[in-house]
Amino acid sequence: MYGMLLESVQHFVQLEYGEELWKEVLRVSDCQYSVFNTHQIYPDHVISTLASACAEITSDSYDSFMHFFGICFVRYTCIFGYDVSIKATGRFFTDFLQNVDNLHSQFRFTYPKMKSPSMYLTEVNENGCNLVYRSVRHGFKHYLMGQLQQVAKQYFDLEVKTTVLGTRVSKANNRTIHVIYVRLEFDNTEYMRNRSKKEFHMRTTQLPPVPCKILLTLFPFSVLINSSMEIVGIGDKLAEVWGDRGQIVGHSITKYFRIRRPKGVLFTWKNLYYLRSVLFSLEFLYGAVETGTDLSNTTSELNDNKENLEISDVQLSISKYKSTTSSIKPYQFRRDSNQALKNILLKGQMKYIKDINAVIFLCSPIINDLDELIERGLFINDLNFHGLSREMVLAGWQHNSKLELTFEKAEQRSIELEHNYKLLDTWKRRGDDLLYSMIPKTVADRLRAGDSSLSTCESFDCVTIMFCDLVGINSATVQDAMDLVSSMNEVFSCFDELMDKFNVYKVETVDQIYMASSGAPERTTSHAENVANLSLSMIDHVKSLRMPSGGKVEIRIGIHSGPTVAGVVGIKVPRYCFFGDTVNTASRMQSTSLSGHIHISSVTKDMLPQNQYVIKSRGTIKIKGKGEMETFWLYSKT
């Protein structure tokens, strides 16, 4: 989905619930996007995830927030001026419902990748109407209800009550279509009164019968289709393109045409009848005309519910089945002068003729310029005198090159913008990773929220702190220094990977000393056990590491537990630091330890679960600044 839908959610959640709640929604939903771009494509599940997060935080229901998001979207479109387009759809709410698909067709130029839903009315009366909603997306039922109710209220001053009559899932063009049948209850008397006046006028007006031939003459590319989906008449110019009118009449419409718009609609009588108010685009298949081959088996859109071939695929079919006859028929010279004659795209409206129970497709070919006219095997005099078709082609001939250049530049800028947004997300993640390596995530989030660094300072009753020292590493030459840095980087990188595994926070590295802690800033009662397990794992991992000179890497570890104060220190290079006697004592445990050993204090020993670790007394030793202390060796887990 396009970012505009998510922008509307962000705007009105911030407006009606506050900035703090929106930040909490992003955190709970684990949304990787902090801002949304109008023309960027986002996964469909993002809006559902945001609704779930809102419901969890506010203790409201998921459905109510999806309904609210639908209302938000309609209100948000006014910012872009789309309210003018909505108002222009018709005088009544029913007119709007009948023209939603046409509205989506207009917006496809601004949002070319839009996967718009389709809807049509099956029953209309004074109390409302029945709506059939079709979409490739699932779970947007309440979002739709919110949109419809807000449009009715905001633009037509109506209160609408919605009732879901049923749902089903169908397959069309290799896509799963979710269909919802909705009853809309609202005051529709004005629309019905207006329609009754028109019908009464038509019934009372005495007009002579008009043969269908007149319509086929006025619209020379039109097609008359009966309820069996057979062609019963065609316009004069379309007959000339075909070459043999008798060969076509009586055949299935699906043999020579396929539906391009509305997308995902099967070529059936029911769809043609109910979608009469929707703009149709039909593609005339040249391959079927040239060979007499039924390309409906190739496109297989209608009877098999499979996807149409794209234009490029149809052109391959044309190349394969192109006629080799030597006789020159009407339009044959133009056909032979092109290696692959392109299909003709016809745009117009389906009109139902009750007297003969048939639908006539009143249309004109879509031609942009003279080059395109030639590609489709047509001439200027083939186009309608009315509808400005000729004028548009000639004007397009003069200005098309500039439009193409402008379009290419805009497309290139769009690609660059999309690439830049991806880079922005990548660098944002890298920045977050760097920040979280310097400051714990919980503390960093508080600083981002506006808290001062001083407010992050806290007193902790008991944490466990570990110091680890690389033993016997020194440098006498530049080469030794390079080897030293390389070895330290390898060892410390190995330790970094173990931190999250044991719920331990890496505080800092100073020279050859590695400092870590557990119990702050995230409080836990198992902090001593976490650090002990980490230390044992570090001893095991360094056994497999080697110095560039080939020697083994050896470490000594000291651990102590006790109260401490921790907080963010510094402005340019902020760090999360620990202060207090516990830090000093842990450092003394490390400095008095032996290579390959884990030296722990009696306080830490008493906090470890009994009978789970192999611990032996070292005896009483003198600790600088502490005097005599009984300490222990931690060897392994039992």
Give the CA diameter of the chain: 120
**Range in 8-17, 82-91, 156-165 with the lowest mean pLDDT:** 82-91
Answer whether residue 556 shows pLDDT above 80: yes
Tokens 């509307």 identify what position?
8
Structure tokens at 210: 């008009």
Answer whether residue 403 shows pLDDT above 70: no
Answer whether residue 344 shows pLDDT above 80: no
Answer whether residue 68 shows pLDDT above 90: yes
Answer whether residue 484 shows pLDDT above 80: no
CATH topology of domain 449-637: Alpha-Beta Plaits (3.30.70)
Position with higher pLDDT, 24 vs 343? 24
Position with higher pLDDT, 304 vs 192? 192
Helices 45-58 + 3-17 axis angle, to 10: 10
Task: State the average pLDDT over residues 398-423.
Answer: 73
Answer whether residue 450 shows pLDDT above 80: no
Answer whether residue 260 shows pLDDT above 50: yes
Residue 341 belongs to what H/E stretch?
none
Query: Please, which pLDDT band fits residue 405 given cuts at 50, 70 and 90?
Result: low
Q: Where are the domains of the chain?
A: 1-80, 91-207, 209-378, 388-438, 449-637
Cα distances (angstroms) measured from residue 206 to each of 106, 200, 215, 263? 38, 12, 19, 40
Sign of CA dihedral 109, 110, 114, 117: negative
**Range in 26-30, 217-221, 584-588 with the lowest mean pLDDT:** 217-221
pLDDT at position 245 is 60
Residue 306 belongs to what H/E stretch?
none
Task: Work out the mean pLDDT of the chain and round it to a whole number.
Answer: 79
DSSP state of 581: H
**Range in 109-113, 236-240, 303-307 with the lowest mean pLDDT:** 303-307
Answer whether residue 334 shows pLDDT above 60: no
Residue 315 belongs to what H/E stretch?
helix 311-321
Per CATH, domain 209-378 is 2.40.50.180: no
Q: What percent of the chain has pLDDT over 90?
A: 20
**Range in 10-24, 185-199, 436-450 with the lowest mean pLDDT:** 436-450
Answer whether residue 28 shows pLDDT above 70: yes
pLDDT at position 586 is 92
**Rounded distance between C-alpha atoms, residue 34 and residue 31, angstroms:** 7
pLDDT at position 385 is 60
pLDDT at position 381 is 58
Q: Do domains 91-207 and 449-637 have the same CATH topology?
A: no
pLDDT at position 402 is 58
CB 257 within 8 A of CB 283: yes
pLDDT at position 79 is 84
> C-alpha dihedral over 135, 139, 142, 148, to 10 degrees?
-20
Q: What are phi and psi of 21, to 5 degrees?
A: -65, -40
Global model pTM greater than 0.75? no
Answer whether residue 122 shows pLDDT above 60: yes
Structure tokens at 473: 């590493």
pLDDT at position 309 is 31
Strands (E), 114-270: 118-125, 128-135, 161-172, 175-185, 223-226, 231-234, 257-261
Position with higher pLDDT, 556 vs 569? 556
- Any idea which architecture 1-80 has in CATH? Alpha-Beta Complex (3.90)
Query: Please, which pLDDT band fits residue 590 given cuts at 50, 70 and 90?
Result: very high
Query: Please, which pLDDT band fits residue 333 given cuts at 50, 70 and 90?
Result: very low
Give the total residue count for the chain.
638
**Rounded distance between C-alpha atoms, residue 129 and residue 585, angstroms:** 79
Q: Which residues contact 566 (CB under 8 A, 6 or more apart)?
A: 457, 458, 460, 463, 520, 521, 576, 577, 578, 579
- Any idea which architecture 91-207 has in CATH? Alpha-Beta Complex (3.90)
pLDDT at position 184 is 92
Answer whether residue 139 shows pLDDT above 50: yes
Query: Please, which pLDDT band fits residue 550 given cuts at 50, 70 and 90?
Result: low
Q: Distance between terminal CA atoms of the chain?
A: 55
Task: State the average pLDDT over residues 25-52.
Answer: 86
Task: State the average pLDDT over residues 526-553.
Answer: 84
For 99-139, the DSSP string reads THHHHHHHHTTTSTT----EEEEEEEETTEEEEEEEES-SS
Cα distances (angstroms) measured from residue 105 to each of 184, 267, 299? 24, 19, 23
**Rounded distance between C-alpha atoms, residue 135 and residue 182, angstroms:** 14
pLDDT at position 325 is 33
pLDDT at position 337 is 39
Query: Please, which pLDDT band fits residue 342 given cuts at 50, 70 and 90?
Result: low
